[in-house]
Amino acid sequence: MGTEVSDYLNQFDGGERAAMEHVYAVGRELAPEAVEGTSYGMAALVYRGKGLIATVRGRNFLSVYPFSGVVVANNLDVLDGFETTTGSIHYSADHQLPDAALRRIIEARREENDAKTR
């Protein structure tokens, strides 16, 4: 098992680290077979050989990457109040994604990965 996610998180402390750790914890809960690795150059949980979820700290915000523009687009209804791009969702330690939204996003990406490996 890799240590990419753990190594990445070790760069941070405080609320931002806790917020990012939470994203990965939910990912591990929903896809226990996922392993630490990289996807598109980001420390990520990798499921069935494809990126499942990543979260990174940018200059002005934290971002969640489900590695799928379709997943982001299909979940805009639970992302009210969060800035999104084609492939990412911006949040902060003070304004984290609700667990229900985070779970829905990770489950949708897991289902995409499952469908691609059938």
- Closest CA relative to residue 25, chosen from 9, 12, 39: 9
| Residue 89 reports pLDDT greater than 70 | yes
CA distance 102 to 67: 14
What tens digit of pLDDT does each residue of 2-45 get? 899 999 999 999 999 999 999 999 999 999 999 999 999 999 99
Q: Strands, E, within 1-118: which ranges? A: 35-39, 42-47, 50-57, 62-65, 89-91
Could you give the domains of the chain? 4-116 (3.90.1150.200)
Asked if pLDDT for residue 98 goes beyond 60, the answer is: yes
Which of 50, 22, 39, 37 shows the shortest CA–CA distance to 111? 50
Q: What is the model's pLDDT at position 4?
A: 96
Tokens in use for 42? 């980001």
